[in-house]
Amino acid sequence: MYVRKRLLFIPSLSLVWNYSIHNRLYRKYLCGSLKVTKQSACFVSWKAISTLPPPKTWNERYQWIWKKDENRKRKEYQRYCSQWSWPIVKAILGKCILSAVMSIILVICIFRCPHSSMTNNSSSPYPRVVLPTTYFSTPLFKVSLIPGRSLATWTMGILGFLFLSLFMIQDYLIYKPSKEWRGFPEDFGLSFYDNVSLKTKDGLTIHGWFIKQHDDYQNAPTMIYFHGADKNHSFRLIKAFGYYVTMRCNILLMSYRGFGPNEGQPTEAGLCLDAEAMMEYLIQNRKDLRRSFILYGESLGGAVAIYLAEKFQNYLDCLIVENTFTSLTDMMEGLHLIMAPLKWFSQNKWPSLQRIRNIRIPILFLSGLRDGFVPPRMMKTLYDEAKATNLKKFVSFVHGTHNRTWIMEGYYEAWKAFLDEVFSSTHV
């Protein structure tokens, strides 16, 4: 059979494609992307060969990737926080305006009521009734005769506005979904898949793909892929492709509510319901699969995976987390000081440190030591506190960043070594 090899250079990544299709080679570049008409005749090997900036001779179509992901003048968390789309910005502005209106009304009600209206009528034994119109009977900016009252008014108004604004937009600061679409599985050589639509317990519908191994998928292990807090599941196809080829596993890849084509607004409670729907789909609806499930989560997805592992660990073989945090309140306190006062009122806590202490299944921790968003020490803390498990491993990558640990040398080898140990007779 005729076989050809072509080396495709992508920033910090080299893909060696080896495939033949009836003596004809079908290819498209990764950015555009790659298309193989018959998946059964395709096999791929990956290797990270360099972390240096690309040479000037590279094709112009690749330069935007490097400039976006490898700009040394911007820290990683700054690149992450800049990924706000215009609909999210409009929603944040709307929340801030609503907070300002509420703060003004609160200040008027507390400080701008005329002093005489708050006193009792000396001829009446009952307190005087204050009508709603009384609150607005004096101009808003009229200086009060009580010393320091104007200063207290403005101070309370500003503090109230800041608190209400941060409280109302906290979900938008954490979750950054996008409706932009990167492609479909067949664009990345994953042509053997099922479209999946699941109904959650609160009535929302989430969409994704169940990517199956092209040969004997019934006996292959199945991985549930929980992505991070930005974009949607279509942006993870190239990464899922690596797991598909190297681990020889099926992959359930879906977006959370509010991400991609899904309806709703992402919250901690909502994402937990989405994760439960995915797990129940595999347990109840996929009777054709081998009962071997792997949970994998990156960044925020690691917190989702830890939640699901604690609840469904009797159905799972192992848990793999990459560059995730101990809790979202720890992130607020350590990195986002402006949100530190809100940690006690936050609707999104994600207490992974508490939950991981109860997990008994094997756990693999993958940490990029150059992570500029989640401190690597949090991954180490999670590893130290996972004392209930019978098998745990911690693998660090010196040059791994928050979003680019997966292309480091030895990454897939760490996966394979861990899964081989999990599926061996000792840990089955």
Q: Which residues are catalytic?
A: 299, 371, 402
Question: Within its chain, how far is the Cα of 39 from the centroid?
Answer: 30
- Give the DSSP letter string of 194-240: EEEEEE-TTS-EEEEEEE--SS-GGGS-EEEEE--SEE-GGGGHHHH
In which element (H, E) is residue 91 found?
helix 86-111
Other Cβ atoms closer than 10 A to 252: 24
CB distance 385 to 353 below 8 Å:
yes
CB distance 307 to 300 below 8 Å:
no
- Distance from the first to the final alpha carbon of the chain: 39
Give which of 96, 148, 137 is closest to 115, Cα–Cα. 137
Q: CA-CA distance, 257 to 71, in Å (whole number)?
A: 31
- Residue-level length of the chain: 428
Amino acid at 184: F
Give which of 99, 149, 366, 60 is closest to 243, Cα–Cα. 366
Structure token digits, residue 382: 């999670």
